[in-house]
Amino acid sequence: MGDRVGSLRRLGARVVAAEPQPALVRTLRLLYGRDGDVLIAPVAVGAREGEIDLHLNLANPTVSTASPAFIAAAASATGWRGQRWERTLRVRQTTLDALIARHGKPAFCKIDVEGLEDQVLAGLSRPIAALSFEFTTIQRGVARRALTALEGIGDYRYNAALGESLRLAHGHWLDASAIRAWLDALPDAANSGDIYAVRRG
């Protein structure tokens, strides 16, 4: 909904915000359309260029998703019951590599795509300095695959934040095996959060 865009702008960053939902693109343009340092790209981001079906949750658009597996995992999960994805929209999809070629390498990249974080990282072939990706306890395998993708392109250390706390959970940065163990040990009730990755050196 643009809150991270605002945070990054307050730090003086130039922001490229990818958002495939037309209603949220309109919201972002109302909030930031006059800011020359914010580019709003009306696209999904994934493993390859093309198109993808986006399943819209009209009552809770922040959990709209292009992942049928995410919808299936949420169907019977505590904390997710009652969520409904009532409409499907075909949207354009690009990759992180294509965005980097167009706009330059980012200092930081936030990935929050409801169950396709691993696919977004599959579309990145070169390391970037720092990034975060969302995880959920109903789909830990997605986060594990995202970590594997990162290990394949760079030497990273990791931390995490639970929910929307915006507070790092660990007093020091962990290697990939340690952050995997932490993720695996989380109770299901932890629900979601973000894993942060910072490139070594």
Q: By percentage, how much of the chain surpasses pLDDT 70? A: 100
pTM of the entire structure?
0.95
Check if the beta carbon of residue 26 is closer than 8 Å to that of residue 48. Answer: no
Alpha carbon of 11 to those of 7, 128, 131: distances in Å? 7, 19, 16
* CB burial of residue 20 (10 Å; 0-12, 13-18, 19+): buried
User: How much is the pLDDT for 148?
Assistant: 97
Give the side-chain half-sphere CA count within 13 A for 39: 8
Residue ranges covered by each domain of the chain: 43-199
Check if the beta carbon of residue 41 is closer than 8 Å to that of residue 95. Answer: no
Which pLDDT band holds residue 90 (cuts at 50, 70, 90)? very high
Annotate 104-119 with DSSP letters as a single string.
Answer: ---S-EEE--SS-HHH
Q: What is the pLDDT of residues 28-37, one digit of tens each?
A: 999 999 999 9
Question: CA 164: distance to chain centroid?
Answer: 13
Nearest to 169 by CA among 156, 181, 151: 181
User: How much is the pLDDT for 2?
Assistant: 86
From CA 33, how far away is CA 199, in angstroms rounded?
Answer: 32
- Does residue 54 carry a pLDDT above 80? yes
Average pLDDT (151-161) is 97
Which pLDDT band holds residue 179 (cuts at 50, 70, 90)? very high
Which pLDDT band holds residue 71 (cuts at 50, 70, 90)? very high
Q: What is the pLDDT of residues 106-131, one digit of tens each?
A: 999 999 999 999 999 999 999 999 99
- Does residue 1 carry a pLDDT above 90? no
Give the side-chain half-sphere CA count within 13 A for 94: 15
**The domain defined by 43-199 carries CATH number 1.10.3470:** no
What is the chain's mean pLDDT, rounded?
96
